[in-house]
Amino acid sequence: MISNDEFCAALKDRGFDFVAGVPCSFFSGPIDQLTRDGLYLAASNEGAALAAAAGATVAGHRSAVIAQNSGLGNLINPLTSLAQTYEIPVLVFMSLRGWPDPTKDEPQHAVMGTATHQILDAVGIAHVTVPAAADARAFGAALDRAVAEMAEGRTVFVLTEKGAIAKHETPVADPGGGLSRLEVLRAIEPVVAEAAVISTTGYTSRELFGATGSKEHFYMQGSMGHAAAFGLGVALRTPDKPVVVLDGDGAAIMHMGTMSSVGASAPANLVHLVFDNGTYESTGGQATTSHATDFAAVALGSGYATARTCRTLDEVVDGLATALRETGPHLLHVHVASTGTSFSRATAAMTTRDIRDGFAGRLGVQEPPLDA
């Protein structure tokens, strides 16, 4: 196992002084240390991380990216049309969720877990794999092979198996009397009784299922940043059904352009609620950039009918009830504390197909065209 100190020291010894990324629990320790050292940029998504690292490289700095393989799709465009096209060498550390045995991970990692190596091969990207049993010496050797590839103007991936890097536990922040996401979810459940509810990946979906036990909500595992787009598609094709998207700050930031699509298409029945605790809580508590983002202003600037920031339970309940009565789209920005969760994922009790079909039933769709 490679310690966090060994990981960061190996990078610095080889001249890397800029790292951009999107959190993964496999890399929680290195991200924490690199952030404290002033070397880490919290990017909105994996593609933006690679583009930023490419820019730093052209500016004369040896640069790296940290990401999870579930976000490889976000990386492909700048990987193939920027890094490869302009021969900009970047080192990409990517965790191997769902590999080597996808049955030992969550269902959202199964496809990418078995396809990661093949995808990189298909686009001609060199890669080395760091197994769980690797030590600092083996890790250093893998980095040296990667640096040799970079010397030829090539971006290279270091694929990292679960357990290769020492796990880092970020202490749960003191809620300090602030709202907990769980109490908000419990309070709003009666308000959304007639709505179609979509919840973002991470603790929000865990707690929504744990609090309600509903088999008709759509619990999004994976697809980070796409809950609002999914909800938009639902709202535009079921205009008589109120649709409520329960989003997170990091997820909303990841694909914030969707807010422009929501505003432009103006679904009257859509309410977009963003829980903001300033962290990527389920990957180790790394900070998001929400402290610099005014979600209400972004929503209004994107064309939402209304946008409101809520700090009390009454403000959330009243704001949501009002939004569901009035023509939308609406945004509620809800400040919550980082409190962790004790709830399991919905897929511990349901299959992904159960979730899909239960939600379709909530929409009144008896025979979705999915299996025709």
> Residues 204, 106: one domain?
no
> Residues 106, 204: one domain?
no
Distance CA 189, CA 208 (A): 9
Where among 160, 189, 204 does a domain terminate?
160
> Residues 221, 134: one domain?
no
Domain count, the chain: 2
- What is the domain range of residue 9? 4-160
Whether residue 271 is contained in a domain is answered as: yes
Distance CA 14, CA 141 (A): 12
Answer for the pair 304, 330: CB distance below 8 angstroms, yes or no: yes
pLDDT of residue 322: 98
CATH of the domain at 268: 3.40.50.970
Whether residue 170 is contained in a domain is answered as: no
> Residues 207, 138: one domain?
no
> Residues 156, 185: one domain?
no
Whether residue 165 is contained in a domain is answered as: no
pLDDT-derived band of residue 176, with 50, 70 and 90 as boundaries?
very low
> Residues 10, 84: one domain?
yes
- The enclosing H or E element of 68 equals strand 62-68
Q: What is the pLDDT of residues 116-151, one digit of tens each?
A: 999 999 999 999 999 998 899 999 999 999 999 999
- Residue range 172-188: average pLDDT? 77
Q: What is the pLDDT of residues 301-327, one digit of tens each?
A: 999 999 999 999 999 999 999 999 999
> Residues 203, 145: one domain?
no
> Residues 149, 231: one domain?
no
Q: What is the pLDDT of residues 219-265, one digit of tens each?
A: 999 899 999 999 999 999 999 999 999 999 999 999 999 999 999 99
> Residues 207, 122: one domain?
no
User: Other CB atoms closer than 10 Å to residue 85's CB: what's the count?
Assistant: 10
> Residues 152, 264: one domain?
no
> Residues 78, 198: one domain?
no
Average pLDDT for the chain: 93
Q: Exposed, middle or buried, 252 (CB in 10 Å: 0-12/13-18/19+)?
A: buried
CA distances from 282 to 115, 246, 304 (A): 24, 16, 29
Which residues pair with residue 68 across a beta bridge?
95
Answer for the pair 302, 263: CB distance below 8 angstroms, yes or no: yes
Whether residue 167 is contained in a domain is answered as: no
Answer for the pair 247, 220: CB distance below 8 angstroms, yes or no: no
Q: Is the predicted pLDDT of residue 279 greater than 80, yes or no?
A: yes
Q: Is the predicted pLDDT of residue 175 greater than 50, yes or no?
A: no
Type of residue found at 13: D
Q: What is the pLDDT of residues 20-38, one digit of tens each?
A: 999 988 899 999 999 999 9
Q: Copy the structure tokens of residue 316.
A: 């959330």
Q: Look up residue 183 and give its DSSP letter.
A: H
Q: How far is CA 245 from the centre of its chain?
A: 15
pTM: 0.91
> Residues 324, 238: one domain?
yes
Distance CA 112, CA 168 (A): 24
Q: Is the predicted pLDDT of residue 178 greater than 80, yes or no?
A: no
Where among 160, 194, 209 does a domain terminate?
160
